[in-house]
Structure 1
């Protein structure tokens, strides 16, 4: 009997190991492909299906050239930031409230003296009840007191409103309560009351004319020739270097290596080969074309612009293709602006 049990164990144990290995392998191969991207202190896994859904939701409105890719938000920071981030589109107005607590006044001249600076330059001042602006920004102000003007102590909020804000106005803006009324608002090293500073980070999303100095042009080529589509983007004064995404007939064919959408480009091209600053990929299966290669070139055309060029080699399309160039002016958020052009192929074959 013991010998029988021993033989049974000898046969069962390898079988169990085989079953466990088989299940692990089957589960791993059944899982959809995913890309891992660092998201703050968390790790976000995106499947190809999820990324395609994110792109579809961001581009459902074909009339809008503003693209907002919604990925998993970063993990909340344990420390509270002292900077209030304010997002606004170019051409709109934005209000920045600066609050001073427990003050008393009965006439405008007794209001707290508030001083605004941006990029360490004087912007505006409310001193002795009188508002003065440097003229660098189109601004106005308003005063709100709570609970009321006649209360012994009140919280006074002085709001600076910037009208018709421009991309170049992006950057940190600080409002401060003065320790004493300044003699002249442009004097440097004026004493500011410690602990009475409020910091705002103004992030202005540029208009198409601000971001794209040259519109992307349509291109017509003979079948079998090479096509070049060029996308030129301005580099903002405070924004990071612009990033590019290319789409061809609704498919993402290029994204930078560190961006989550890179996996969609890899899924199309099958091999993310990089040679210097040229990224090669085939467009097989995403158009009516035969198998041919494409490339994306990057070079700085000037000190203030960055250019990305899509090259389609030996074009064999049987219809026109919609080509989109997306540019992200600010690396701190996934908001892009796109411009569209069409690649038209002349049916006459190349001699």
Structure 2
């Protein structure tokens, strides 16, 4: 089969991890007889420098015509001026909005061979396997009013955590659908004891839950969830939450897996269903890591696992997705490590070497 993909390497280490994902894609294509047509475009700081915008209208147009989008990372000190009118991150927000990417899936899986790669006790994180469903196009990042202004008494700023019941209902349905395929348990994370938007969130979630009588629903305050992630992460299975909470909690959860370099993500424009192709954008959850750019030491596994998610959700290639995930697991089981998950007795490898190893095991 032939598939059209838009590839957005971005800034910092983005191009480096994307190069390794490309190797794995080509290995999949060779083994299973697929052709992946890659349209490489600019995004983030690279796009600002070359095109004057964090993402161009032409790039958005091409993304809309593609089967899926694969992204590296955006941002860096060069574009960090807080007074700048255009920032690299604007490209991501624009893509999410223009492409209708409302559902962000962030799986957290602790590989048995990496239980010693974190500061947490192995008995706490062994067997951890859950997924966060994060709402991606509403809340503080998009709500209006959003502005800064000067008053006689000084500067002020406001962001708005705005949600409609329709926005809440559609993301909650994604959570219920995923929970139905897993352990049939959904945890909805909010701050209903303080925020009006969270009270609406909880009310709508309860209403939608009536469509899923086979899935149990639990409400958890966001601060309690932050503690549970460290105290007893094995309790968790499928969680759904709003944009800002999800952004923060998933970064915290990445430490369970040993590194942010281990966690992939999928941003979808629909509810995932087995065998159904859904348009999506796929990227590692880590940033552009400018201090590591050009050193070939960054971990490409998150990006490679993002490719697996792309194969599963946007291309409906379940067998191929499983092959990529198994290749990652085999590489780790054989002791290969990048610096961020390195431990005594293991073999330290560079970014490109890890990509070669995994591609060779597909």
Question: TM-score by structure 1 length?
Answer: 0.23
Question: Which structure: larger Rg?
Answer: 1
More strand by share: 1
Q: Relative contact order, CA 8 A, sep 6+: which one is greater? A: 2
Whose helix proportion is higher, 1 or 2?
2
Q: Structure 2 length as normaliser, TM-score?
A: 0.23
